[in-house]
Structure 1
């Protein structure tokens, strides 16, 4: 039986505990509901910069935090952070004897690590700008550009990396505003998994986090554009990348697993996927291609991308349309569905076996206002039917849901004319 304990501290901090008997390692992390979807034109990119500043152990204004982080790292603890469209997370993985020190580090970071010297601040801005330069000069941005095309440059359509001009001109006041308004206990979730004692762990958490002050937060609805659109960056060079995307259901919709299965059967990186068969195996048009899903609290994006010689992009777009139209007309075969169910269950259980991936799965589910239970996820996979797949195919693949993102020197008019969803 998969057991989860949910609790709240008096200040509103949500705590999720999951015991893994006989585990020799632990994982713990803090999820804060602050991401690029909470930003505006003036501060887009500053959620990510804030993440960098808070977790950096070299901050001279927080010597206690820096000393503890040094001790943690010296004992083999691995730590990292990530900013997404809807949250920022900070997480630690290590030997079980170091759990309390890591919880203390998370508390110091979230409660006390809020002042930054000018030199430290400017240096971290340079680091983030270098990261942004790398991101915007590569095809890595295509998935984000797909969401931008589908939802607009607002809400979940905003790029996580953000506007480089905003980062360059950012000041401490703008960072402090994000910290003061979003890094509060009632906007955060703390997750701990490992061979833990629930009562003991809750007492430790309460001891370190009880002084984190509650603050009323304003609801931040993520606005989006009414209709999808097209993003084209002409770029240069011999290669180009295309992504054909569609609006879909949010994370907590019952059909989410069905949508995920549909996308995987069409564009999973395995050689059996339909688009891989048509584009790579039969015609050799692309090596790097596949499908992806991005489920959010109130919206969802699915897409199919391919990197290729720029002269082949239009052909790939036409083939992708033909494959989608074929599955709309004829559906999926029973053996395809059975194979994908096995693959999805295997993938899920492998994630759960990795303690860091397991932690991140629980944290994300909680942000999406859904509890994670392995049995429920496996059951959802096994319960998908051919009729449910036909329904999500019909509902997802429509011209009204369609958005396109392209990076590269291609004939945009010819390209768009070859994308047709019946």
Structure 2
């Protein structure tokens, strides 16, 4: 990631508060799209992107904690805590929190991932002070009461049950376990029935205190916002809760880790009475800071990213073997995944797998055509821009960039980097990634002979 920044340092206030450091990371054009960052003395970072032409604003707080930070006995604690922060503070009850945003027609939610958690609210620009006050209150002053922990346990168990009822979701969790084994990256974000039942109020409260320190947080706001005003309102909210921490706090650096992928050629099968068999075939991909990720993005788009992609044409259009078939990439701090998903009738699993493996082999050995690469570059560029057409997406971009990379990249720079991908770079990354021995995860009504053949399919 790249950034172009200028730096200004705020003077101490008349109240003697320690100084904050403000940078313009991306100047934008005529003030539109300007991205600024202020780091408060306690280590809290606040980034904003200004779009005066819109009437909405999205405000979010990103926490540098995900399911990857859990020990086996704390499985699901990050997601459990995400639920509990909506249950009430000293200032607001759970109803007060939801009613405040509902009353202005806003939207509020949160999500937990392997390496981060995000809480956000999208409102009219005039209601941004309310969103800031509510979300900051949740993050800094959650009560985490025993009765709320007990009540929410049932909700989370229902969420796990709901996920288990969707084999299309379960197969991706199964594939993560196939690739990463019994490691934090291989375990489900939601935890398991056993780990969720075993979590106590004390464990969750300690997890909260450890991972929600200001040095672990990034505040992000995008839309019709004024940076200085957002900083002032966030600072006031954190100071009211006594949550700014030490004046010499230093923001945590972007995450690093130790590569935890298991050996290739592993097969995980889950026998279920489903109408379809759900298949994920994949191999190690690239870490999110690998410069080859741009070429991998083009490769992924051409191979399985749309209706004109190789896999869609070969599996669905020409043979009618599946309704849904696509490829995808996942990048983490130190490793990544490249996968191909297909849902098909159980008796057609082997045909679908053979076609997918044949196409992966062809692309690895012969590469993509120049036309395929040009089309993928155009598709990826267009989808990148179209995916940033609302303030929520912009908030996600600047917040995640700050947390995961520590820098910002403009949309124009992203488009330039995609356009600069050469056919040779795509062919090289295809060889590096697709020539690896794959692993396989399948969910469906599998017979014994099918299971034996599936184990042989990755040999």
Q: Shared fold by TM > 0.5?
A: yes
Give the alignment of 1:241-320 within 5 angstroms: 241-268=278-305, 270-320=306-356
How far 1:67 moved relative to its partner?
A: 2.6
The CA deviation at 1:170 is: 1.9
Q: 1:125 aligns with which of 153, 166, 174?
A: 153
1:298-333 Cα deviation digits (max 9, x unpaired) = 211110010111111111111111001111122111
TM superposition shift of 1:223: 6.1
Contact 2:257 2:333 (8 Å CA) reproduced: no
> Is the counterpart of residue 200 in structure 1 residue 229 in structure 2?
yes
Matched, 1:413 2:449: no
Change in Cα spacing, 1:60 to 1:194, as seen in structure 2 (3 Å) is closer
Secondary structure in 2 aligned to 1:246?
Answer: strand
Q: CA deviation at 1:344?
A: 1.1
User: Are 1:14 and 2:51 an aligned pair?
Assistant: no
Q: Report the RMSD for the aligned CA atoms in angstroms.
A: 2.1
TM-score, normalising length: structure 2: 0.85
Cα separation, 2, equivalents of 1:220 and 1:253: 13
C-alpha contact (below 8 Å) 1:35/1:83 kept by paired residues: yes
By how many angstroms is 1:60 displaced? Answer: 7.8
Q: Secondary structure at the match of 1:413?
A: helix
Q: 1:213 to 1:201 in 2, by over 3 A?
A: closer
CA distance in structure 1 between the aligned counterparts of 2:140 and 2:435, rounded to whole angstroms: 47
Distance 1:355 1:60 in 2: 27
Partner of 1:30: 61
1:235 paired residue number: 272
**Which of residues 370, 380, 405 is equivalent to 2:417?**
380
- Give aligned pairs, total: 415
C-alpha distance in structure 1 between counterparts of 2:146 and 2:75, whole Å: 22
In 1: Cα distance, 2:172 partner to 2:414 partner = 25
Report if aligned partners of 1:65, 1:109 keep a CA contact under 8 Å in 2. Answer: no
User: Contact 1:23–1:194 at 8 Å: present in 2 too?
Assistant: yes
TM norm structure 1: 0.93
What is the alpha-carbon distance in structure 2 between the residues aligned to residue 155 and residue 403 of structure 1?
19
Tell me by how many angstroms 1:62 deviates. 5.2
Match of 2:139 in 1: 110
Deviation (angstroms), 1:66 = 4.6
Aligned residue runs from structure 1 range 20-419, under 5 A: 20-56=51-87, 59=88, 63=92, 66-118=95-147, 120-139=148-167, 140-210=169-239, 211-214=242-245, 221=257, 224-228=260-264, 229-268=266-305, 270-369=306-405, 370-400=407-437, 402-410=438-446, 411-419=450-458
How far apart, CA to CA, are the structure 1 residues paired with 2:199 and 2:331?
30
Q: Does the 8 Å CA contact 1:38/1:220 hold for their aligned counterparts?
A: no
Q: Which ranges in structure 1 are unaligned for 5 or more consecutive residues?
A: none
- Structure 2 CA distance for aligned equivalents of residues 4 and 313 of structure 1: 48
Shift of 1:225: 4.3
What SS does the aligned partner of 2:72 have? coil
1:97-133 deviation digits (Å, cap 9, x = unpaired): 1111111112211111133242x32221111111101
Q: Deviations over 1:360-402 (max 9, x none)?
A: 12222222214232112111110111000011001101335x2
Q: Answer with 98-107 or 383-392: which moved more.
A: 98-107
Q: CA deviation at 1:200?
A: 2.0
Distance 2:381 2:104 in 1: 34
Which of the two has greater helix per residue? Answer: 1
Q: Does the 8 Å CA contact 2:171/2:279 hold for their aligned counterparts?
A: yes
Paired with 2:219 and 2:409, the residues of 1 have a C-alpha distance of 14
Q: How far apart are the structure 2 equivalents of 1:205 and 1:75? A: 20
Contact 1:85-1:158 within 8 A present in 2 as well: no
What does the per-residue CA deviation read over 1:274-310, in whole Å, with 9 as the maximum and x for residues that have no partner? 1111111111111022111111122111100101111
**Contact residue 156 and residue 222 of structure 1 kept, 8 A:** no
Matches of 2:127 and 2:427 in 1, distance apart? Answer: 49
- 2:426 & 2:39 partners in 1: Cα distance? 39
CA contact (8 A) 2:325 2:341 kept: yes
Contact 2:302 2:375 in 1 (8 A): no
Aligned 8 A contact 2:285 2:329 in 1: no
Which runs of 5 or more structure 2 residues have no equivalent in the other structure?
A: 1-27
Residues 44, 244 of structure 2: 8 Å contact kept: no
- CA offset at residue 154 of structure 1? 0.8
Residues 55, 109 of structure 1: 8 Å contact kept:
yes
Inter-partner Cα distance in structure 1 for 2:224 and 2:244: 30
Partners of 2:350 and 2:303 lie apart in 1 by 19
Q: For the residues of structure 1 that align with 2:433 and 2:211, how far apart are their CA atoms?
A: 34
Whether the 8 Å CA contact 2:259–2:335 is kept in 1: the answer is: no
